[in-house]
Chain A
């Protein structure tokens, strides 16, 4: 996917190639992830809650990270895309993650990420988790 990104930036690949590559990655991940994942083992390295928040529907970066975290022994809950900030608070209460990750490709998700952190603060949950954001 790094190579695809480079070719896109250089103008050798266009949006169609980018989307097709993402779809291929998604299908390959579905095949290899069960073989890599150790999430079902009794000893996980920790719990991570991840989602792409309201205003953004891109999920490739999120899915890459989820695959890598599971391969490294983390239990990961994927909230999906276009997730309302309030859903983060609800899931933090039930899942009790060590880390909450927000993925964003476009700026429209930034206010939702800020709101989710504020809601965690209001709910008294902010100090119980580390918040990580990512997206390129």
Chain B
């Protein structure tokens, strides 16, 4: 299971356990083009 602590350990920009949040993050990054 991922957490904010795992995000920091990995060096990632974003972490979630919710697929909807994952899609929202991708839309935010690409500007929803």
Contacts and interface: CB of A to CB of B under 8 A. Distances in A.
Interface residues of B, number: 25
A68 interface: yes
Interface stretch (A21-29, A34-42, A95-103): A95-103
Interface of A: 43, 45-46, 48, 61, 64-65, 68-69, 72, 74, 98-99, 101-102, 104-105, 110, 113-114, 117-118, 121, 130-136
B14 A136 contact: no
A41 B11 CA distance: 33
Contacts, number: 94
Contact of A134 (B22, B29, B32): B22
B25 A45 contact: no
A46 B33 contact: yes
Nearest to A98: B30
Contact of B29 (A43, A99, A113, A136): A99
B19 A61 contact: yes
B1 A132 contact: no
